[in-house]
Amino acid sequence: MRKVKLYIKLLGALLLLTLVLSGCSGGGDVAKEEPKVLRVSMALAEKEWEIMREYVFPPFEEANNVKIEAIQVEASDVPKKLEAMAKAGKMEIDIITQDNMALAPLVEKGLVEDLSEYRDRIPKEVLPSLIPVGEFNGKLYFMPYRPNVEITFYNEKKFKEAGLTPPRNWDELLEVAKAFKEKEGIGRVAIKGTLDGNTTCHLFDFIRSAGGDPLVLNDEGSVKAFTFLQKLYPYLSPVTKKADWNTMNQYLANETVYLGQNWPFGVSVIVQDGGKKEIKAYHGWRGPVKESHVLGGEVIGIPKGTPNKELALKFMEYLMSKEVQEILVSKLAWPSCRSDAYGQVEEWQQPYFAAVNKALAASEPRPNVTYWADVDKALNDAFKEIVIEGKPVKPTLDKYHNILEAAKKK
């Protein structure tokens, strides 16, 4: 029976500890009723949060007598969370900033407000090319706030050792990939081949820079792009199939990959945190017809059912203001969505910032179509069959062209 007593003591101690712990949480469970609280969701790294909390939020809080409750929600989790809240009839987020690659599900599921009537609140200094990103079927659901584009990272040391220069066109890309594979026995160039949105983005770049249209998928440019990728694939790094926006940074940092494209936030992860100063970046390569990058970045939306719509709209305008945009440029080296926002980025960041701006100049928005899920699937299936498994290009693309045509009519 000694053991029994011991257990009871143990349990008692545990309970006591629990009570003490929940005591000092001080009823953090409640207090959602406060009228002037604006709940904002963003997906940022720790350093970016610091800038937001220190420089961006306080002036708005003071001017409007609100408290901003900001929460971290990853782009892929935004639809999950909003859907759960919408189904429960309790929208607990007032405004979202969301990756523009992940907008379709929000619109399809009816989770965000139609902002068409507030179109005039977009300042006229905002670059007009950014606005279509937030439009679906002629309605405006999202407003621009942070344009972004993928840049090309490369390991300067390894390139020098191999006597190579970063590729400026497709031929050089193939040459570089071949050279590294021959030298080291393993591919050192990677594209993001996870067969999801990451890959879709790359495919858009390749097809468009060959003059093709990804939504047609069997035109001359698309055939060229897939033929090239099929030729390139054997020389790529094996991590290509695992490289996404997150892991690509790691592969670049630990020298698994010497050349790869990713979003500019990789700069702070690889160079600043990882101390890999030899990882440099440039805008990228051009295809047979032109250079093309998918215009990425983040947009602002308002979840349906929020009780603070008016305040959210105000915050939206604030995020697009010159004042905020200049903070974002100078402190985070984010390119601005306005033509009149300038800032001096820190010196070490300047070459990367220049690369972003140059790539941005060659960027094109992705079309927002209602059958986006089918496009995504068709592109990735085609990539798997043609590039990875080596099936003939034209007939396979014809097949997926027909699938897309059928999806369009649905």
Partner 1 sequence: MVTKQDSDLLAKVIKFLFWPMAILVMFFLLVPVYIMVKVSLSAPQDILTQHPPFLIHNFTWNHWLKVLKSGNLWLPFQKSFVVATITTVIAIMVAAPAAYVISRMPKKVRYTVILSLFFTRMFPEVGIALPIAVNFIKLNLLDTYTGLILAHLVKVLPFIAWILVGTFETIPEDLEQAAMVDGASRWTALTKVVFPISLSGIAVAAIFTWLESWNEFTYALYLTLSQRSLPLQTYYYVLRGDWFQSAAYSTILTIPVALVTFLLQRYLKSGYLSGAIKG
Partner 2 sequence: MKILKTYRLEIIMLLPLVLYIIGFTFLPVMNTIFMSFQNPHTGAFPTFANYQYIFGRRDFNDAFWNTMIITGIGLTLEMTIGLVIALMLTKNFKGRGVFRSFLLIPMGVPTLVSAVTMTYIFNIHGYLNELLYRLHLIKIPVDWAGGGLKTLLMIVFADMWKVTPMVVLLLLAGLESIPGEVYEAASIDGASTWQTFRHVTLPLLKPSITMTLILRAIDAFRIFELPMVLAGKNTPVLSTYAYMEYNAYNNPYTSAAGSTILLVMILIFIFGYLFVSERNKEVI
Distance from C-alpha of 397 to C-alpha of 409, rounded to nearest angstrom: 19
Distance from C-alpha of 220 to C-alpha of 213, rounded to nearest angstrom: 9
Residue with Cβ nearer partner 2 (217 or 239): 239
Provide long-range contacts, Cβ within 8 A and 24+ apart, for 231-235: 231/174, 232/173, 232/174, 232/177, 233/387, 233/388, 234/181, 234/187, 235/174, 235/177, 235/178, 235/180, 235/181, 235/187, 235/189
Contact of residue 29 among partner 1, partner 2, none (CB under 5-8 Å per partner type)? partner 1
Min separation Cβ 137 and partner 1, Å: 26
- Residue 46 is a binding residue for partner 1 (CB under 8 A): yes
Per-residue x/- track, 97-136, partner 2 (CB under 8 A): -------xx--xx---------------------------
- Residue 256 is a binding residue for partner 2 (CB under 8 A): yes
- Residue 195 is a binding residue for partner 2 (CB under 8 A): yes
> What number of helices (H) and strands (E) belong to the chain?
16, 13
Distance from C-alpha of 273 to C-alpha of 295, rounded to nearest angstrom: 26
Report the alpha-carbon angle 137-138-139, nearest 5. 95
Binding residues for partner 1 restricted to 76-115, rule: CB under 8 A? 77, 80-81, 83-85, 87-90, 92-93
- Residue 373 is a binding residue for partner 1 (CB under 8 A): no
How buried is residue 100: exposed, middle or buried, by Cβ count under 10 Å (0-12/13-18/19+)? buried
| Alpha-helix runs per DSSP H in 89-155 | 104-108
Contact of residue 358 among partner 2, partner 1, none (CB under 5-8 Å per partner type)? none
Residue from the set 212, 268, 376, 397 that interacts with partner 2 by CB under 8 A: 376
Residue with Cβ nearer partner 2 (9 or 80): 80
Contacts with partner 1, residue ranges (CB under 8 A): 3-4, 7, 14-15, 17-18, 21-22, 24-25, 28-29, 39, 45-46, 69, 71-72, 74, 77, 80-81, 83-85, 87-90, 92-93, 246, 249-250, 253-256, 266, 269, 273-276
